Structure 1
Amino acid sequence: MAVFVLDKRHKPLMPCSEKRARILLERGRARVHRMVPFTIRLVDRLQKDSVLQDVRIGLDPGSKVTGIAVTRERDAVDQATGEVVKIRVVLMLLELQHRGSVIRDRLTSRRAFRRRRRNQLRYRPARFDNRTKPRDWLAPSLQHRVDTTMAWVSRLMRWLPITALSQELVKFDMQGMQNPEISGAEYQQGTLAGYEVREYLLEKWCRKCAYCDAENIPLEIDHIHPRSKGGSDRVSNLTLACHDCNQAKGNKPLEQFMVKQPDRVRKMLAQAKAPLRDAAAVNTIRWALFQRLKATGLDVETGTGGRTKWNRMRLSVPKAHCLDAACVGHVDTIKKWQQQPVLSIKATGRGSYQRTRLTKYGFPRGYFTRSKSVFGFQTGDMVRAMVTTGKKAGAYLGRVAIRASGSFNIQSANGLVQGIHRRFCTLVQRADGYGYSWDKIALQQGDAGMGRSSTAALSLPGMNAGVPRATG
């Protein structure tokens, strides 16, 4: 895993290895600047005295998770063909988990409470409907995705000598490239016939069989209402099935095939008619994010989803959000991605202005403490707890939830630990609105996704050197 390095004036240098960072800290040449992601600050080096290389940030925007890849770029000559090839060396992989759905649900709940209070509890005269939204306005749940992505791009630019950015922007359209005037039925029956539908169904049905929930196997397109009985080829009548379920269903209606599972039938019919919200969210925010990236002044490379998938399949890279980010744009070779840990970043927010809990009618039910800080800690801080006695003896590392009594809860990698006294807790890093954990790419699962790993990667050099003062 790469360790970020700053000079003594907080200017970014090229990252180093964990072993190199440990040696610099032991010799007194560096100080701990930040714990997660682990960053050190040299005390005897300036940026002008260092050699910097080209570092690129790749982005794969998503509705729930945005993949981020930090890569070092260099050009090399192919000995066989003599051509210049572009090589990307992966330095760090990150996955940013958005909380847009939480924001949407909370705004909906607040709107319902306010409507009831205004309409039923007291009279409120009608107001003029003359308010207008500014240009390029986005809903708060969508604006959050853009803001959090740009926040981490800005952070990485402070910690790394970033020279270029890459973003997956649009879908792949080979027919439009070959024949810009193609349209109508000719477009629908050309090279991409069925491609868009298959990709849409894979996203909509979560890449698993709708009948038995089988995953990581070849899936086939099935008609919910059979064509032989009047069913159409509309997307709302299509689903995914494994080969065995597809053969067993045959031309039976869904209700007859799943007669013993009426709940699954209702769920399938509702899911078939529901729109793909994630795709709509990504399509809405992609151009807003592109304009924000251009405003950074760096070179912004855009790629298509088809190009990303082609790069990933050609280079035998498994399916993951962060690895998709590394495959965006023009790339010939990707190195050192196999053993890279993935820093999973979960947007948690910085607390709430709400000072009470509410009943289902919107009335107060108990009050929160007026102070966000208790005994020098606040909810969201990363702490290390060394419990020496009692049933909960052991070492814990994670985010803390405070109580006025001084008995805290710690969300560690192994689960929630309750009732840890404050005297056992040591501050590691102040709350910054995000929760951190380390994952590992599950190579044995191919396109299955990600597998969990331990948080041993958090025990980096400097963890035992006292409480770091994060100034970046």
Structure 2
Amino acid sequence: MGIDPGSKHTGIAVFTGDGATRTGKYSVRLDHRGGLIRDRLASRANYRRRRRSANLRYRAPRFANRAKPKGWLAPSLRHRVDTTMSWVSRLTRWAPVRVIHFERVSFDTHALSAGRPLDGVEYQQGTLAGYEVRQYLLEKWGRACVYCGRENLPLQVDHLHPRVRGGSDWVSNLTLACRRCNRAKNATPVEEFLQDRPALLARVVKKAKLPLRDAAAVNATRWALWRALEATGLPVVTGSGGRTKWNRSRTGAPKSHTLDALHVGELDTVTGWPSQVLLVKATGRGRYCRTRTDAYGFPRLRLPRIKQVRGFVTGDLVRANVPKGKNAGVHTGRVAVRSTGRFNITTVHGTVQGINHRHVRLLQRADGYGYTTTKESTVETSSGYARASDGLPTPAAAAA
């Protein structure tokens, strides 16, 4: 099994291996809801902060109970670890998984900080060290030319302070530029090249000094996930994002989360991969909060404590066969239950309201995930996400 963790999506690939040759059998892309969790926690904190500052009869802020245990992760980050481990557990029950290949770091910070190939470690030498730097720069600068902002075209590594004028190969001195802008800048320092555009110059200089905060958070999640994978008892082989991209360039595979998972670690060739990917979206199981708030954070509506109505729970996959009326027809989708017994069903065509529970039949219990399938990608877009295409691409066809 190969795992490519990310901040929004995690790719999981189940494959067979014969030495350094792999053949993909099953692919899953897990979509996290960490951003939604973060936003809801921030909203709750803002409500409480506002009520405290309004001199209302409310508890004073408590600062003495903020100790966090060792290994603590924010709920939005812990969610990524828990959902990934849930699917690893499922797949290891369904398939005879013998080893897990895990992308523990997006890029090797040791190779980046050295600014040169490192002796004695084979994967950091030669072209692979350059892939570590390119992967870092693509994520940092948003896969676009920093000078003209154009996307979806080949990008070159540019030195903000040219080497002929004493500039270094440190990653903080590197950026991305299209061929036209790189040739126009040539050996000119960025301060001179952008002297007519001071706003852009200030933005470039500021961003060059900023670390990848999102990448740091993801790296913290990856370490927690690695420890959880080690606890399963299966052998865990780790790799970096730079090696994954290097592997894809050699096999001719396009960019996608699931194909990245297939190319994690050491390999020579990939003979094929599935034509379809299972998309799993984490939807949650509802809220613990049993009230709805107004614009000021005060409760305006109280929800029932019992979530099951007429044998159904919000989020169940159902099919309703309505014989007559304005909603006549067959409707398949996720149900939202109501105490009155008249449910709403969200289908691919929209939401149908007021369907009597007698017409509803259960297809699948809600398990906190939504499911769909899509075709595997063959084209890498400027945003880093891939578009789907028909057929099962082979490495030779993808390279062509």
**TM-score, normalized by length of structure 1?**
0.66
Amino acid in structure 2 at the alignment position of 1:93: S
Q: Offset of 1:179 from its aligned partner?
A: 4.5
1:323-358 Cα shifts (integer Å, max 9, x gaps)? 11111123333233152x111111111110222222
Q: Offset of 1:59 from its aligned partner?
A: 0.6
Does 1:69 find its partner at 2:13? yes
Q: Offset of 1:160 from its aligned partner?
A: 2.1
Q: Look up the SS of the partner of 1:331 in the other structure.
A: coil
The farther-off stretch of 103-112 and 264-273 is: 264-273
Match of 1:167 in 2: 102
Q: Whole-Å Cα distance in 2 between the matches of residues 272 and 411 of structure 1?
A: 46
Question: Does the Cα contact within 8 Å between 1:60 and 1:322 map onto a contact in 2?
Answer: yes
Does 1:398 find its partner at 2:326? no
Amino acid in structure 1 at the alignment position of 2:30: L
Q: List alignment gaps of at least 5 residues for structure 1.
A: 1-56, 76-84, 181-186, 455-472
Relative to structure 1, the CA distance from residue 310 to residue 121 in structure 2 (aligned partners, 3 Å threshold; closer, same or farther) is same
Match of 1:429 in 2: 364
Task: Find 1:418's aligned residue among 337, 342, 352.
Answer: 352
Q: Whole-Å Cα distance in 2 between the matches of residues 218 and 397 of structure 1?
A: 44
Does 1:87 find its partner at 2:31? no
Match of 1:58 in 2: 2
Q: Whole-Å Cα distance in 2 between the matches of residues 100 and 382 of structure 1?
A: 23
Does 1:316 find its partner at 2:260? no
Q: Whole-Å Cα distance in 2 between the matches of residues 296 and 151 of structure 1?
A: 12
Question: Does the Cα contact within 8 Å between 2:336 and 2:343 map onto a contact in 1?
Answer: no
Relative to structure 1, the CA distance from residue 71 to residue 196 in structure 2 (aligned partners, 3 Å threshold; closer, same or farther) is closer
Task: Find 1:106's aligned residue among 26, 35, 40.
Answer: 40
Q: Offset of 1:118 from its aligned partner?
A: 3.9
Match of 2:119 in 1: 178
1:377-421 Cα shifts (integer Å, max 9, x gaps)? 222212234556667666554333333451413143xx5333262
Amino acid in structure 1 at the alignment position of 2:277: V
1:297-346 Cα shifts (integer Å, max 9, x gaps)? 1121112223222221111111111111111123333233152x111111
Match of 1:115 in 2: 49
Q: Whole-Å Cα distance in 2 between the matches of residues 234 and 301 of structure 1?
A: 29
Task: Find 1:141's aligned residue among 58, 76, 89.
Answer: 76
Q: Look up the SS of the partner of 2:83 in the other structure.
A: helix
Match of 2:291 in 1: 356
Match of 1:13 in 2: none
**TM-score, normalized by length of structure 2?**
0.76
Q: Look up the SS of the partner of 1:200 in the other structure.
A: helix
Q: List alignment gaps of at least 5 residues for structure 2.
A: 391-400
Aligned pairs for 1:227-242 (under 5 A) are 240-242=176-178
Question: Does the Cα contact within 8 Å between 1:225 and 1:254 map onto a contact in 2?
Answer: no
Task: Find 1:344's aligned residue among 279, 297, 306.
Answer: 279
Match of 1:306 in 2: 242
Match of 1:372 in 2: 307
Question: Does the Cα contact within 8 Å between 1:58 and 1:166 map onto a contact in 2?
Answer: yes
Question: Does the Cα contact within 8 Å between 1:318 and 1:449 map onto a contact in 2?
Answer: no
Amino acid in structure 1 at the alignment position of 2:11: G
Amino acid in structure 1 at the alignment position of 2:295: K
Q: Report percent identity of matched pairs.
A: 54
Q: Offset of 1:95 from its aligned partner?
A: 0.9
Relative to structure 1, the CA distance from residue 420 to residue 244 in structure 2 (aligned partners, 3 Å threshold; closer, same or farther) is farther
Q: Offset of 1:424 from its aligned partner?
A: 4.5
Report the aligned-residue RMSD: 4.1
Amino acid in structure 2 at the alignment position of 1:70: V
Q: Look up the SS of the partner of 1:162 in the other structure.
A: coil
Relative to structure 1, the CA distance from residue 203 to residue 401 in structure 2 (aligned partners, 3 Å threshold; closer, same or farther) is farther
Q: Whole-Å Cα distance in 1 between the matches of residues 226 and 352 of structure 2?
A: 43
Relative to structure 1, the CA distance from residue 110 to residue 232 in structure 2 (aligned partners, 3 Å threshold; closer, same or farther) is farther
Q: Look up the SS of the partner of 2:48 in the other structure.
A: helix
Amino acid in structure 2 at the alignment position of 1:298: L
Relative to structure 1, the CA distance from residue 289 to residue 425 in structure 2 (aligned partners, 3 Å threshold; closer, same or farther) is same
Match of 1:381 in 2: 316
Q: Whole-Å Cα distance in 1 between the matches of residues 324 and 208 of structure 2?
A: 55
Q: Whole-Å Cα distance in 1 between the matches of residues 315 and 204 of structure 2?
A: 39
Q: Whole-Å Cα distance in 1 between the matches of residues 295 and 251 of structure 2?
A: 53
Q: Whole-Å Cα distance in 2 between the matches of residues 417 and 134 of structure 1?
A: 44
Amino acid in structure 1 at the alignment position of 2:365: R
Match of 2:143 in 1: 207
Amino acid in structure 2 at the alignment position of 1:161: P
Relative to structure 1, the CA distance from residue 226 to residue 105 in structure 2 (aligned partners, 3 Å threshold; closer, same or farther) is farther
1:349-384 Cα shifts (integer Å, max 9, x gaps)? 111022222223211133334432233222221223
